Structure 1
Amino acid sequence: MKRDGSASNCGMLLACAAALFIASYAASCAAPPRPTLVPDGYRSWSLTTNVRLDYPIPGHEDRYRVIQMNEKGFTFTRAEGPSGRVDFPEGTIIAKDIFPTSNPGPTDLPVMLTAMIKAPSDPDARGGWLWVIKDLSSGMETLQKGDFCVRCHANANEAHPYGSKNPGGAFSDYVFFVPGRQSAASSTGAY
């Protein structure tokens, strides 16, 4: 009996069609890409502190930092008393521009942005926040799914050596520079 190969061609065609169907089905089940987390225009937001942030801190080295927060963040709640608990509302975005040196010139631009986005119901949230690093040259945002950022920022919830120093050890919702808290450091310049 002579074989002309049409049966094997048909089998291969069916296998390819099945593989294509499975691949397209799997792609349709994949999570859609996240929208941009830190919107353009964040530099127009209000500053969280007037302290010149040019001294070394873990995670950000000795690079100059400028911290802005969206309007929603300024509606945070604070329990009564000078060392009262602080809670930021869902949707708060705190954006920290990181410059290449501790004393940038007037034309120097930030090289990186780190951000905290209050999203307690997001499965990627750590401590109720999404932790984001954005490469400003490419615009690429990377969601930090490990514990490095949240472990460091957990120190804001107790007495610490930065900003207000949180002498009462009140829960500060992982934020070192809570607006309106008297700052222990002095401002040495405007930004």
Structure 2
Amino acid sequence: ALPRGARHRRALGGAGDCTGTTALREHALASFLANMLDDPDLLAAATAGEVGGDGSGSLLGRAWAETLRRDPPVQIVLRRTRTEVAVSGGTLPAEAPVACLIGAAGRDPARFAAPDRFDPLRADADPLLIGPAGCPAALLGRLEAEHGLRALLTAMPGIRWADGFRPVAGGLLTRGPRALLVRPS
């Protein structure tokens, strides 16, 4: 039997793969940084360690959750029906391929007020989460994002967009900024 600490490290060793590949992580982190750089006041408040307006956690943590709601790295999930399914007046047979457009879920105006606005302090902040609730990747992803952004800001205080640069997101199945051109202070 492995010692307890070794078992724990072994369990966490594959945790980053619960939700996908490195590309997904890169898209999510790039979107997170882009959202923060778009609002210098929010960036300054979040990196100063301020908590959400209702005291419900760090602004960085809330900004990460808001990024996943508004700009999720996974846009489309391909699945197959298990049984025959009635959809929009038609019928899909069992084992039919289906493309689930999950990237649109966080922009549903029936669920989120001003869904296209990036607002980590929104009252209706619960993003759509898919997958096993106990997957350590969700926690590890949030910690990686928060600590990574803090490390970047320590190394490059005053970071901002390069003059005239605006990020452009791309991708069909997965989506994120193609490039982030920044300047130090």
Which band: TM-score by shorter chain? under 0.3
TM-score by length of 1: 0.26
**Structure with more strand by fraction:** 1
TM-score by length of 2: 0.26
| Structure number with bigger Rg | 1
**Structure with more helix by fraction:** 2
Q: Which has the higher contact order (CA 8 A, sep 6+)?
A: 2
